[in-house]
Chains A and B, each alone.
Chain A
Amino acid sequence: MTGWPSLAPRAEAAPRTQMLRAQARAELTLLLRNGEQVLLTLVIPLGLLVVLSTVDVIDVTGRRVDFFVPGVLALAVMSTAFTGQAIGTGFERQYGVLKRLGATPLPRSVLLLAKTLAVLAVEVLQVALISLVGLVLGWHPHGSFLGVVLLVVLGTAAFSGLGLLIGGTLRGLTTLAAANLLWFVLLVLGGIVFPLSAYGGAADALRWLPTAALSDGLRQLLQHGTLVGRDLLALALWAAAGLTAAAKLFRWE
């Protein structure tokens, strides 16, 4: 017979900061350990950046690398905050992980904050690597660093709301299909690889897509040093709509 230690009750929730640290670390571990996630968030954006900046396949105005670095930054934010979060959250629901966490003292707000911190940490890594590769390819950034932070944070809020909305309402496999499809559609229509001017009259409408707003906002800032109010507004509206809908419709199991 194995000797059990004393199992006498001594139940008390940990301080919130301890829970947050532990949960954020777990979320980050999961993001970085998942091969498909790393492919989506790092390998594809970096690959696109290298290929598009060095091979003359798409016509752009100005230097190629200066056009593509902001677009790929937008793609990276979308991949992590939208596609990655949607798929991760969808499967966590399906596997009963979120339900199980609901039976612990971990508050919902701390769980969501931990997810956000993990997403931001991955984005820091993405921005650093993409900027580094861009600089090696001869990228000359303009504009303020704070402007980039503002755009990335607003974009993250917009994409997180949409990602949590999909991941929190659809089944795991449906989420996987929908998130990947939207990722591709927004990659093509969002001004990341093709300039929006390529779409003629539709460009005025496409400009309000979150991906287009983020890529255009980053491009105007990093290429020309101007912060475009319309792009900030579009991202803020998507963030408000997505987060509100997610908060209302999210199902934990």
Chain B
Amino acid sequence: MTAATQGTLTLIRGNPPPKITPRLSAVSAPVLEVVDLVKRYGERTAVDGLSLRVAAGSVTALLGPNGAGKTTTVEVCEGFRTADEGTVTVLGGSPAGVRHRVGVMPQGGGGYPGLRAEELLGLFSRFYAHPHDPRQLLELLGLADVARTPYRRLSGGQQQRLSLAMAVVGRPELVFLDEPTAGLDPQARRATWDLVEALRADGVSVLLTTHLMDEAEHLADDVVVIDHGRVVAHGTVPELTASSQAFVRFTGPAGLDVEDLLRSLGADCVGKESPAGTYLVEGPDGPQLLAGVTAWCATRGVLPEGLQTRRTLEDVFLDLTGRELRR
């Protein structure tokens, strides 16, 4: 054990502190500020006037369908691409000027195939003056058993976790994670989430992109939904999923008489069956609506399953970005 890591080990905690969700964006300067970013590739405009900010010590999720401009936006922030228009301020400076304070996990690897996991992480650790102990990081991410395995022989999930370790080994202030859990099994995904939560608890800011709604719901203080290179919605998860209308969704046998259900609920309720066997009803009063729905089901001898009384982030996302398949 080197002297540099001993200070770390005295601070090990059994449990992370309770999750708090302060709206830091209102009070402190952002660690990342993107204003009116435009990025074109030839004829195609990948990012079209996008603005966002990441508050210090917060986790921000960038959500969007394939081709929405997530990776391009992150890569401009990381300094890999230059903006055609607009400004990007990272930790108060330009992306290229703050590389040592920023950790980056790009999509799809980026390791020497011939180096072992411990050699690769050790190499990256020596680019920094006060790195984490590579062996400890490997252990915490479940990679201790493959420490001596060459990068090219690691599984996709192991490469992902090693890549995550490479992003945080230099004790960065801000971390960019581009689809950090894509292709991970549930255990590895949970380990990644734990790390993101531990980063936030210690004041590290995180910007991550994801397709996974539950990931954003679980991790993010702020969610920015982008599509066609623009921000289509942003806010906390409760803000995004809140709606003025109460909402009940359930599944049951296909072909229930929705018109009759709505007549039983009252004039100010609306509803539909979409897709077959999934029913969605909206009305002004939540408790009344739920009671009305279940009472109607009881008269039909139907057990409503999967009852849900709040819109999920996925509902919001699909409403905003459309339901048709992309590419």
Residues in chain A within 8 A of chain B (CB atoms): 1-15, 18-19, 21-23, 26, 29-30, 33-34, 91-92, 95-97, 99-100, 102-106, 253
Contacts and interface: CB of A to CB of B under 8 A. Distances in A.
A222 B222 CA distance: 71
Interface SS majority for chain A:
loop
Contact of A100 (B106, B136, B170): B106
Interface string B114-145: 11000100111011111011001000100000
Contacts of A14: 126-129
Given A5-B12, A100-B104, 20 more contacts: A1-B15, A3-B14, A5-B9, A5-B136, A7-B171, A7-B202, A8-B171, A10-B130, A11-B173, A12-B100, A12-B128, A13-B100, A22-B127, A92-B112, A97-B110, A100-B110, A103-B104, A105-B100, A105-B128, A106-B127
Interface string B1-34: 0000000110111111000000000000000000
27 contacts: A2-B191, A2-B194, A4-B194, A4-B198, A5-B9, A6-B12, A6-B202, A7-B168, A9-B101, A9-B172, A9-B173, A11-B171, A11-B173, A12-B129, A12-B130, A14-B128, A14-B129, A19-B126, A22-B126, A26-B115, A30-B115, A34-B114, A99-B106, A100-B111, A103-B104, A104-B127, A105-B99
B195 A4 contact: yes
Interface of B: 8-9, 11-16, 78-80, 99-102, 104, 106, 108-115, 119, 122-124, 126-130, 132-133, 136, 140, 166, 168, 170-173, 191, 194-195, 198-199, 201-204
Among A23, A30, A97, which residue has the most Cβ atoms of chain B within 10 A? A97
A7 B141 CA distance: 14
Contacts of B140: 2, 4-5
Contacts of B201: 7
A97 B112 contact: yes
Contacts of B15: 1, 3
A11 B100 contact: yes
Contacts of A97: 110-112
A26 B123 contact: yes
Contacts of B104: 100, 103
B102 A103 contact: yes
Most A CB contacts (10 A, CB to CB) among B9, B11, B14, B128 go to B128
A13 B129 CA distance: 5
A96 B171 contact: no
Given A5-B8, A8-B171, A14-B128, A103 B99 contact: yes
Contact of A4 (B13, B114, B124, B203): B13
B100 A103 contact: no
Contacts of B132: 5, 7
A9 B127 contact: no
B136 A103 contact: no
Nearest to B14: A3
A6 B110 contact: no
A4 B199 CA distance: 9
Nearest to B141: A2
A25 to B, nearest CB: 8
A1 B194 contact: yes
Nearest to A32: B114
Contact of B170 (A1, A3, A11, A253): A11
Given A99-B110, A104-B99, A9 B171 contact: yes
B169 to A, nearest CB: 10
A9 B128 contact: no
A236 B113 CA distance: 34
Contacts of B101: 9, 11
A92 B166 CA distance: 17
A95 B113 CA distance: 8
A105 to B, nearest CB: 4
Contacts of B114: 29-30, 33-34
Contact of B110 (A1, A8, A96): A96
A29 B115 contact: yes
Contacts of B16: 1, 4
Contacts of A15: 129
Contacts of B109: 95-96, 100
Contacts of A104: 99-100, 124, 127, 170
A7 B201 CA distance: 8
A99 B171 contact: no
